[in-house]
Structure 1
Amino acid sequence: MERTKSIWQAPFQQARSSAAELDGDADRNRGRKPGTLDRQAALLLAVQGMFAVANALSGTFVPVYLWKTSHSFMLIGWFTLCHYLISCITFWLAGKWVKERNKMNSLRAGIVLSGIFYLMVLMLGEQAASYMLLLGVIQGMASGFFWLAYNVVYFEITEPDNRDRFNGWAGLLVSGSGMVAPWISGLLITAFAGNTGYRIIFSLSLLVFVVAAVISFFLKRRPIAGSYDWGHAWRTLRSRHLPWRHVFLALTAQGMREGTFMFLVGLMVYIATANERKLGDFTLWTSLVGLLAFWIIGRLMKPHMRRLSMLWGTLMIIVVIVPLVWKINYTTMLWFGIGTALFLPLYTIPMTSTVFDLIGKSEESARQREEFVILRELGLVFGRMLSVGVYLLVMSVTTAPHAMAWLLLGVGSAPLAGWWLLRRYVGGRVPEG
């Protein structure tokens, strides 16, 4: 096992020190025990945790709120597609700001715009459905600014020996937020008549975003190096000797699953129960399982275990969808949610860690980390847009529950193709080139 570990880590030694020197963090990295996280990593996790709490409080119920005011599956699809499209454009345009200016301001811009999104939903009330495209633009910009900066900083403050642990903690925080926040929101929504409960949870989200913005000021301003390469993604994908064609397609497959699952699962639970509290209970139990799974897998995962872990995770998150094809009710949805929460970390932790390890495999790629992070995000967003496109096509024909179940099974099987494409680069081997 030790020999396998050394083989895995050897190609990264130069890139580690190079990235550290670029960031001015070499001394800090030398003083950190292998596999542990330092204060900057903890602060970044805290910002992500607050961001996750704010979105979990209201984000779970935004599709439900918009559906209740419009009763249109198509409108929700167009809102989501607009969100993904704008986030894609924002990633590419904001790359120059993150590369050459202050990436922490991009992080804060994402937080502020997220707050503005919920403020607008709060002010528009039942008229929000009439402004879905505008709301999609604002949420897309918020996602682009925040996640671009977050992922660049994440790469800079982690290394191959602690990346799985960071991802485990990140998943733990997201699961914890998803466990408590939507459950509280469901209680508040059902406890007040009309849309009063929605106004309360949107207001709470605004407050938490303010806390996240305050915490972000304790993160160090990251040094800048180099100029932004506008055509990097295109040239990288055209190059046949680099692994990024396969990586991009694997990320697209991951995005195919995420694009529809992010909004349709919660909406299906609400439609099956007609009760926001039941949706809150659903997120409580599924996130509790996810929290435990991310904690255990994040602690135990090692680079040499990634390939098999990713395969089993991929197969099982497909298997748990199958019962929905026969029957959709709260019980089958709950078992599907619990099964997904249990096995998803086996897929996402090695997937995320492997892609970022590829970014850091050489001094040259480490210097272009912003461009590679953008390439990663473009792959994910492209997959999400394809997924929503399929959703819109299906919904234009039928809105029957079984059609939605088959849709989930179809797009939910896409990660299997992602594993096949990425398998060469997972599990202790990172080819050169």
Structure 2
Amino acid sequence: MEFFEKLKALSYRARLTIVLHTVFTLAETIGGVFFNLYLWRLTSSLALIAQYQFFFWLAMMLGFILIGYAFKNKGMSQLFRIGFWLNFIFFCLIVWLGERSINWTVYLGLLSGLAAGFYWSAHEVMVLSGTSDKTREMFYGVLMSGESVARIAGPALSAGLIWLGAKWRGEALFGYYLLFAFVALLFLVTELAINRVKDVSFERFSLRGVFGLYQRKAWRWNLWRSFVDGLMISRWFVWGVLSYLILTSEVWLGTMMSLVGVLAIISNILIGQWFKPNLRARLNSWGAALLVIAGIAYPLLLNPLGLVFDQILGEIIGIPLFTFAWLAWFYLAVETDYDGKKRQFEYYAGHEIWQGIGRILSIGLFWLLASNLEQVNLARWWFGGLSLLFIVQWWLLKKVRTALVKAGYKEE
């Protein structure tokens, strides 16, 4: 009963944000992990995947700057719509290009990254306007449970359509085209269904304002955390390929991801309900420890047991423990600025710029190394090494919390 009362207390904007994010995550789960696997099936090249990822994150970072100047005082529903239209075009192009997609990875990365920039810019404004510090852990508990529902449906659907394509046409690639056509349709339907009711906007943006925020101590440490988090982004696509190699088929990978999603729903809701402001620091520390252990064990073992270890300690328990706290402190760093709500997009753009720089450096270096070294061994060491950066993130978040407490924030 207590859970449903807290859920009811969430604002209309918060609930709308959860619905849109669940749909986006469903499409992202299919189009992210399985598009990378599609490129791997065509070329067996991590370097090509890194090239696509490099231009994706570059476009997303630059997109935030473009949006900041072009969409001040304009409703976030416009940004959602543009982002969903661009994603619709992206997936239609993949189906149309077929195996020629490998010759267009730069342009596909730029298009998909720009689409993501429009979505995430709208999402972050909606989160701040629709939640408060008291409801934020509960909001993220429900939001991440919605993500988990999508991560159940997405991989299961992906595995089913790829299997169906193989049976129908005798080739797995046809199943990928069925999958991408479905995602295109999903974005089209969602775009047409977005409601303009209770729209919100941001008021101020300039690059001078973005870089001026570095003077605020709580935000300065948040920016360094964003940079380190960006350095870790290449773990994500490396994990997808390594897990596919462990399980040997898209069907097994999709099934495993769906099972993890079921458990993650339960863990996210329980942790979100249990989380209290005075427990943030302790639970964040536990989450960081679990993520480091899982991140080292997975590439060392590189077998089904290591994968199970990684998903239980990392995805199901470690991620929510670690993430809920840093997201709460992230938005508090904005709210404790007396002009924070007006300048919120400058905060988000600063986060994306610093994170984007980290992403581009990380993926660019991996791209360079993968072109010259044995790929699977490189991926193992790369994943394990980057997992240690959770320790650096944890230390930076301690600095954020200390700065917030000095600024008058009370953990109650």
Partner of 2:106: 133
Between 100-109 and 170-179, the greater mean CA deviation after superposition: 100-109
Query: 1:55 Cα shift?
Result: 2.0
Q: 1:232 aligns with which of 200, 203, 209?
A: 209
Query: 1:276 Cα shift?
Result: 0.8
Partner of 1:197: 175
Task: Give 3-state SS (helix, strand or coil) of 1:426's partner.
Answer: helix
Query: 1:218 Cα shift?
Result: 4.6
1:249 aligns with 2:227: no
Partner of 1:274: 248
Query: 1:429 Cα shift?
Result: 4.5
Query: 1:432 Cα shift?
Result: 2.5
8 Å CA contact 1:303–1:428 kept in 2: the answer is no
Q: Are residues 249 and 224 of structure 1, via their aligned partners in 2, closer, same or farther at CA, if it must alter by over 3 Å?
A: closer
Task: Give 3-state SS (helix, strand or coil) of 1:261's partner.
Answer: helix
Task: Give 3-state SS (helix, strand or coil) of 1:365's partner.
Answer: coil
Q: Please give the root-mean-square deviation of Cα atoms over the aligned residues, in Å.
A: 2.2
Query: 1:325 Cα shift?
Result: 4.0
8 Å CA contact 2:230–2:359 kept in 1: the answer is yes
Q: 2:62 aligns with which of 60, 85, 89?
A: 89
8 Å CA contact 2:218–2:399 kept in 1: the answer is no
Partner of 1:57: 30
Query: 1:51 Cα shift?
Result: 1.0
1:432 aligns with 2:410: no
Q: Are residues 330 and 219 of structure 1, via their aligned partners in 2, closer, same or farther at CA, if it must alter by over 3 Å?
A: farther
Task: Give 3-state SS (helix, strand or coil) of 1:252's partner.
Answer: helix
| Matched length | 398
1:101-112 alignment runs, 5 A limit: 101-112=74-85
1:288-299 alignment runs, 5 A limit: 288-299=262-273
Q: Distance in 1 between matches of 2:263 and 2:231?
A: 23
Query: 1:418 Cα shift?
Result: 1.5
Q: Are residues 102 and 39 of structure 1, via their aligned partners in 2, closer, same or farther at CA, if it must alter by over 3 Å?
A: closer
8 Å CA contact 1:317–1:340 kept in 2: the answer is yes
1:356 aligns with 2:335: no
Q: In structure 2, what residue type is equivalent to 1:282?
A: M
Q: Are residues 271 and 219 of structure 1, via their aligned partners in 2, closer, same or farther at CA, if it must alter by over 3 Å?
A: farther
Partner of 2:187: 209
Query: 1:279 Cα shift?
Result: 1.2
Partner of 1:28: none
1:383 aligns with 2:372: no
Query: 1:77 Cα shift?
Result: 0.4
Q: Distance in 1 between matches of 2:403 and 2:8?
A: 16
8 Å CA contact 2:294–2:313 kept in 1: the answer is yes
Partner of 1:10: none
Query: 1:252 Cα shift?
Result: 1.5
Q: Distance in 1 between matches of 2:155 and 2:382?
A: 25
Structure 2 portions without partners, runs of 5+ = none
Query: 1:317 Cα shift?
Result: 0.6
Query: 1:102 Cα shift?
Result: 2.8
Q: Are residues 387 and 219 of structure 1, via their aligned partners in 2, closer, same or farther at CA, if it must alter by over 3 Å?
A: farther
8 Å CA contact 2:235–2:382 kept in 1: the answer is no
Q: In structure 2, what residue type is equivalent to 1:233?
A: V
Query: 1:396 Cα shift?
Result: 3.2
Partner of 1:313: 287
Q: Distance in 1 between matches of 2:58 and 2:295?
A: 27
Deviations along 1:147-187, whole A, 9 cap, x unmatched?
A: 01110121111111111111111111111111221122112
1:115 aligns with 2:88: yes
8 Å CA contact 1:35–1:162 kept in 2: the answer is no
Partner of 1:80: 53
8 Å CA contact 1:51–1:208 kept in 2: the answer is no
Q: Are residues 344 and 121 of structure 1, via their aligned partners in 2, closer, same or farther at CA, if it must alter by over 3 Å?
A: same
Query: 1:136 Cα shift?
Result: 0.1
Q: Are residues 424 and 36 of structure 1, via their aligned partners in 2, closer, same or farther at CA, if it must alter by over 3 Å?
A: farther
Q: In structure 1, what residue type is equivalent to 2:182?
A: L
Query: 1:100 Cα shift?
Result: 3.0
Query: 1:198 Cα shift?
Result: 1.0
8 Å CA contact 1:293–1:343 kept in 2: the answer is no
Q: In structure 2, what residue type is equivalent to 1:222?
A: V
TM-score in terms of structure 2 length: 0.90
Q: Distance in 2 between matches of 1:204 and 1:247?
A: 38
Deviations along 1:21-71, whole A, 9 cap, x unmatched?
A: xxxxxxxxxxx9899202221111111111111222332210010111122
Between 395-404 and 189-198, the greater mean CA deviation after superposition: 395-404
Q: 1:262 aligns with which of 214, 236, 244?
A: 236
Q: 1:327 aligns with which of 287, 301, 317?
A: 301
Between 163-172 and 394-403, the greater mean CA deviation after superposition: 394-403
Partner of 2:143: 170
Structure 1 portions without partners, runs of 5+ = 1-31
Partner of 2:278: 304
Q: 1:124 aligns with which of 93, 97, 100?
A: 97
